[in-house]
Amino acid sequence: MSLSRFYRIAGITIQVDSDLPITDATFHPKFKIFEVDGSGEDTIFISHHFSLPDLQGQDLGNKVYQHPPWVIYRKEDSWVYLGVAPVAGERHIYQVAFFNHDYTRARIHNEKDETFRGGGLHSLTLFPTDQILISQVLADRQGCFMHSSGVNFEDNGLLFVGHSDAGKSTMARMLEDRAEILCDDRVVVRRWKDGFRIHGSWSHGDIAEISSSSAPLKALLFLEQAQTNRVISLGNRKEVIRKLLACLIKPLVTADWWEKMLRLVEHIARDVPCYILQFDKSGSAVKLIEEMVEKNKKQSHRPLRGG
């Protein structure tokens, strides 16, 4: 047992501290894939407490968001998130989270400890999803979560983008014998010095197979279920940007966050080959994907002509 555990996603280490011991059963087994021995070069901090602070008479700042299950306040360089639920027509607070200005430090106060002691938790924050926190942190690191499935296909990162029922899990299943599945529903896209990479996450959909590894992003494919199988090159950058913005996982949206996302998406549209993938469920699309990957390899190795 320990009071601290460490998990790494997309190059970011999350240190989880708790007033109660963290055991191997505290978090869902999927987190073992992302667990590391200690902090890294880029570490953020979450601390869990198991009683609510007294907010009576406190100035929480300006209310910037209110929609169940959250009421969010901003005060100078900090954020306050209230987890609320309606009880007999009144607002019941069951969780209070304090974040610093860039979301790299969080103090999370939980009303009760039964859920934590019960184990099998599906999020490190005890929020409905950790994307609420990680999406904010990624924005400062030229990264984002996408509604997508991602695979490592012979060291080629392929990102299949689409909303629910677009076929993200279907494509992952079609490729599972040929590629490593990173995640079938939420994939991190991050810009590094040597280019874009896709990173696996624990926020999976129908396929429980996930990975903490990454791959260089070589192609981005917008999914369209159809009667035939076709790969259509998308050269219109404005259309690519529009499609990408529609598939971003959004935390609390601020003007600053949007500016960062717009710059990031513009870079993706400029640097990454983008396609529409029309496919049926026969599996024939796999052959087209293989041909696309091979074609991209040849083009990337083509020597430049001197002038």
User: What is the per-residue pLDDT across 225-240, written as a single tens digit (0 to 9) for each?
Assistant: 999 999 999 989 999 9
Query: What DSSP designation does 228 have?
Result: S
pLDDT at 304: 40
pLDDT > 90? residue 95? yes
pLDDT at 204: 96
Strand order, beta sheet including 90-100:
35-36, 2-9, 12-22, 43-49, 105-110, 90-100, 78-87, 70-75, 62-67
Phi-psi region of 120 (alpha: psi -120 to 50; beta: other; left: phi over 0): left
Q: Is the peptide bond preceding residue 216 cis, with omega within 30 degrees of 0?
A: no
Q: How far is CA 153 from CA 66, 174, 202, 215, in A?
A: 42, 12, 20, 9
CA distance 244 to 189: 11
- Please tell me whether residue 33 adopts helix, strand or coil conformation: helix
pLDDT at 88: 62
Please report, for the chain, the start and end positions of each structural domain, with discontinuous segments joined by +.
2-129, 139-300
For residue 253, count other CB atoms closer than 10 A to its CB.
13
Mean predicted confidence (pLDDT) in 199-223: 97
pLDDT at 114: 96
Query: What are the beta bridge partners of residue 75?
Result: 78
- Closest C-alpha among 242, 189, 185, 249 to residue 220: 189
Q: What are phi and psi of 127, to 5 degrees?
A: -80, 170
CATH fold for the domain made of 139-300: Phosphoenolpyruvate Carboxykinase; domain 3 (3.90.228)
- What pTM was computed for the model? 0.94
Q: Which residue has the tokens 């598939």?
A: 247
Share of the chain above pLDDT 90, in %: 89
CA distance 242 to 268: 12
